Amino acid sequence: MPSPYQRQLFAAMAAAGMDVAVRYYTGGAHDREWELPELHPFEKVMAGRTLAQLGPSAHWNPDVMAEIEEVLPDLVVVSDYSAPTAQVVMRRLARQGRPFVFWGEVPGFSKRGLLGSLVRRQLQAPLAKAAGIAAIGSGAARAYRDLFPGKPVSNIPYFCDLAPYREARARTTAARESIDILFSGQMIERKGVDVLISAFGEVASRHPRLRLKLLGGGPEQARFAAMVPEALRERVHFLGHREPADLPEVFAQADIFCLPSRHDGWGVVVNEALGTGLPLIVSDAVGAGHDLVAQGRNGFVVRTGDVQDLARALEQLADDGRRAEMSRTSERMAQDWELAEGVRRWRAATAEIVGGEAAA
């Protein structure tokens, strides 16, 4: 779907002279509140539908091969192997001997029974015919190398425009009495909001300057709000959903960023927090943590679901000096995560497979 951060990368690739054509399975999703934007000339939402009986990501676009033939690409990049459309494209291109790359997050995070594991192996089978795999993060790259030994695997995670976050931080000059911890994500169990609220409760009495800001909407917000002890309700703020254009200012008003998910294939909000120069705390189930968090230098990677481990990390960042040191490190690291680096990685991967400076 046309998510804001992916569109920023595609636009940067086009501006850099790469001949890109982007075809989306769908214009939206049941668990996203993004509005459908005005698309660039190289973008299009394909006609199709979701096969709900197979799951919320079972997108079927019957004209997908016609769309590909209209573009006549040198290389096709396919995402989300669980989508029927992706399965059709990969299997047909493989039969035709035409090159394609699969671009995906870490595979197999959910535990499945015998039947589920068999289905997953069948869905992953076309990847063996890919000309290469673009793994979304170093953790995913390791997993795909194990699954497909000898297959070319590039580490090409999500990138987004960090300039608005950097600029918003530069405009923030007023000192605050509070130390604000920011979470950004859906209000669902997978994001670990309950773990963060519990960890905050562990340290709040010892650090009265700490406040918790929870950014995002979702079906479980009322349950999470009910978890907050009455004595802490004035220090825990549910900010609700905000449009992408408003996010830099919200991030710039924070002092610490925390994403304690039970699973996140990547987590582009970590890019945004890095671009703001925030110290980072993520769980070891967040893909971006492998690439964007230098343990003990610009933040901490904590054990998934471990309230005490997260509480210890929050306690360390309650120290003004430690927090300032880690913030400076995040600012330096962010220089390597601008959109230009995403363009460079895609240019290198496509050139390796099809040759030349840029490929469609």
DSSP track, 217-247: --TTHHHHHHHS-GGGTTTEEEEE---GGGH
> How far is 103 from 88, CA to CA, in rounded Å?
16
State the residue for tokens 């002890």.
229
Nearest residue to 127 (alpha-carbon basis) of 112, 109, 111, 107: 107
Determine the Cα angle at 184 with ends 180 and 190, to 5°: 125
Is residue 342 a contact partner of residue 283, using CB atoms and an 8 Å limit?
A: no
State the residue for tokens 């995906």.
104
Nearest residue to 136 (alpha-carbon basis) of 109, 113, 118, 163: 109
Backbone angles phi, psi at 18, to 5 degrees: -80, 135
Helix (H) or strand (E) holding 102: strand 100-104
Question: Is pTM, for the whole model, over 0.85?
Answer: yes
Is residue 216 a contact partner of residue 186, using CB atoms and an 8 Å limit?
A: yes
Q: What DSSP state is assigned to residue 71?
A: H
Is residue 53 a contact partner of residue 76, using CB atoms and an 8 Å limit?
A: no
State the residue for tokens 């999500």.
158
> How far is 306 from 309, CA to CA, in rounded Å?
5
Walk along the chain (360 residues) and give the pLDDT tens digit of each residue.
Answer: 999 899 999 999 999 999 999 999 999 776 666 677 899 999 999 999 999 888 888 999 999 999 999 999 999 999 999 999 999 999 999 999 999 999 999 886 555 566 666 878 899 999 999 999 999 999 999 999 999 999 999 999 999 999 999 999 999 877 789 999 999 999 999 999 999 999 999 999 999 999 999 999 999 999 999 999 999 999 999 999 999 999 999 999 999 999 999 999 999 999 999 999 999 999 999 999 999 999 999 999 999 999 999 999 999 999 999 999 999 999 999 999 999 999 999 999 999 888 754 444
Grouping H, G, I as helix, E, B as strand and the rest as coil, residue 195 is helix
> How far is 266 from 287, CA to CA, in rounded Å?
4
b/e map 43-79, b = 16+ CB within 10 Å:
bbbbebebeeeeeebbbbbeebeeebeebebbbbbbe
State the residue for tokens 């086009």.
14
State the residue for tokens 């519990």.
198
State the residue for tokens 């030994």.
149
Domains of the chain: 4-160+338-354 (3.40.50.2000), 163-335 (3.40.50.2000)
Encoding tokens for residue 11?
Answer: 């636009």
Q: Give 174-208 pLDDT, tens digit per residue.
A: 778 999 999 999 999 999 999 999 999 999 999 99
Q: What DSSP state is assigned to residue 46?
A: P
Q: Give the amino acid at 295.
A: Q
